[in-house]
Structure 1
């Protein structure tokens, strides 16, 4: 029987491999979700550099979902200011639901193209 940590690690690597195949030179929008905060960063894997990053600690709003949407909007604005308009969404081990979906939708509305 596998533990939760092993299962989530396998899920993360499976999703990451799909992202690498789909990326084709595009930077990726990688997220990390803790129980209280959510963080997003745009990573250029070819150059090995982080283009933009923001967390919900910097953007104080009402609920956790509202904070995730604010993070999505802020990271999209920072990426566009850095000259990045097209990214690949790397949700890691998280389901595309709730805060993850709110972040992605807000980033799309702010001008990022997934």
Structure 2
């Protein structure tokens, strides 16, 4: 009978390397956003099976997001990038977000004559 433990370990090692590579790539993107916007803070939001959204808010009020395949990868990316994470997207943290006409029209949608969300 073949020893499957060695095959399982190889698969786990490969998955671990893939996750670490993804975390490193996301960390570089977080750092680039942070540099462009005078620093950044973040929040991790679960997307279910799709992964975890890393919401970024720059010191200048601009915001963006990235999606990690798992919560663990998102946490690792934030850690590698030195990103301060908030437990919730509310209060003072949410108040830092600057929205423009595009966001307001998208939020209003067809109710106020803005573009639909189709």
**What's the TM-score once normalised by structure 1's chain length?**
0.35
